[in-house]
């Protein structure tokens, strides 16, 4: 005759507690997953758009170096690969889609010179002469010839002292970049080439940026030296 094993009240209570803990843990995991913030992208976040543009500018530069290599191309590409890796870290930290790449308006296209108006129609001074000189860290009051009208400005992701890179101006050229949204400006020297008219490194971008933004939509770029 077989014996049926019965569980003591203490063992039954222990089993019930264990089952409740497992169920509760599963519910916690599901709740944590469901409450995770959705990943942003360039279409619905200014921060993500700025980072995507910065990544796109660096990729454009790398593509140009591979298409027309010279003795320094490998070193430049290695440097930009490191910059792209850092931008991806920033994308992840900002809850942006990691690896998203975009090009801003005229980011890799030379600016076309504006056609001068007929003499009889030139009744107003050029826009850059009517804009009051912006004061900012490293900016001073220097003004010059406006270039790359309509271009946005973002950061390259490079470290070091304030500087810029450009696909239009050689090393040594001085550019003044003014953020018209906060009237901050910086005057920096071009030290390398990039995929856009003016790409500021991290230190220069910090001097003119708005808090939490990685893209300057309304930028005044002037060649001052």
Backbone angles phi, psi at 30, to 5 degrees: -65, -40
Residue 185 is classified by DSSP as E
Mean pLDDT to the nearest integer, 203-220: 92
CA–CA distance, 182 with 163 (Å, rounded to integer): 20
Residue 106, pLDDT score:
40
Indicate whether this model's pTM tops 0.75: no
Distances 211 to 31, 53, 69, 77, 214 between C-alpha atoms, Å = 32, 18, 38, 30, 9
CA–CA distance, 108 with 166 (Å, rounded to integer): 10
Most confident option among 2-11, 152-161, 173-182, 185-194 = 173-182
Mean pLDDT of the chain: 75
Percentage with pLDDT > 90 across the chain: 25
Instruction: List Cβ neighbours of 44 (8 Å cut-off, separation of 6 or more).
Output: none
52 against 126, higher pLDDT:
52
CA–CA distance, 163 with 155 (Å, rounded to integer): 10
Q: Is the pLDDT of residue 213 over 80?
A: yes
| Radius of gyration, CA atoms only, the chain | 27
Residue 5, pLDDT score:
60
Residue 184, pLDDT score:
96
Mean pLDDT to the nearest integer, 193-222: 90
Query: pLDDT grade, residue 137 (50/70/90)?
Result: very low
Query: pLDDT grade, residue 135 (50/70/90)?
Result: very low
Residue 196, pLDDT score:
82
Residue 161, pLDDT score:
94
Mean pLDDT to the nearest integer, 180-189: 96
């Amino acid at each position: 005759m077989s014996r049926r094993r019965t569980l003591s009240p203490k063992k039954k209570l222990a089993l019930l507690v264990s089952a409740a803990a497992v169920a509760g843990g599963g519910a916690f995991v599901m709740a944590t997953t469901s409450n995770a913030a959705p990943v942003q992208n360039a279409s619905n976040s200014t921060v993500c758009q700025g980072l995507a543009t910065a990544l796109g500018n660096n990729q454009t530069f790398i593509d140009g170096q591979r298409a027309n290599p010279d003795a320094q191309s490998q070193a430049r590409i290695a440097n930009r690969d490191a910059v792209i890796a850092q931008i991806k870290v920033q994308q992840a930290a900002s809850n942006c889609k990691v690896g998203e790449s975009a090009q801003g308006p005229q980011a890799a296209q030379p600016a076309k010179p504006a056609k001068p108006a007929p003499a009889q129609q030139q009744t107003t001074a050029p826009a850059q002469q009517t804009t009051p000189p912006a004061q900012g860290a490293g900016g001073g009051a220097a003004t010059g010839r406006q270039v790359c009208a309509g271009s946005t400005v973002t950061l390259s992701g490079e470290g070091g002292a304030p500087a810029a890179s450009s696909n239009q101006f050689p090393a040594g050229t001085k550019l003044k970049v003014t953020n018209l949204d906060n009237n901050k400006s910086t005057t920096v020297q071009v030290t390398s080439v990039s995929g856009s008219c003016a790409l500021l490194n991290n230190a220069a971008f910090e001097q003119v940026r708005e808090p939490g933004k990685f893209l300057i939509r309304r930028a005044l770029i002037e060649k001052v030296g």
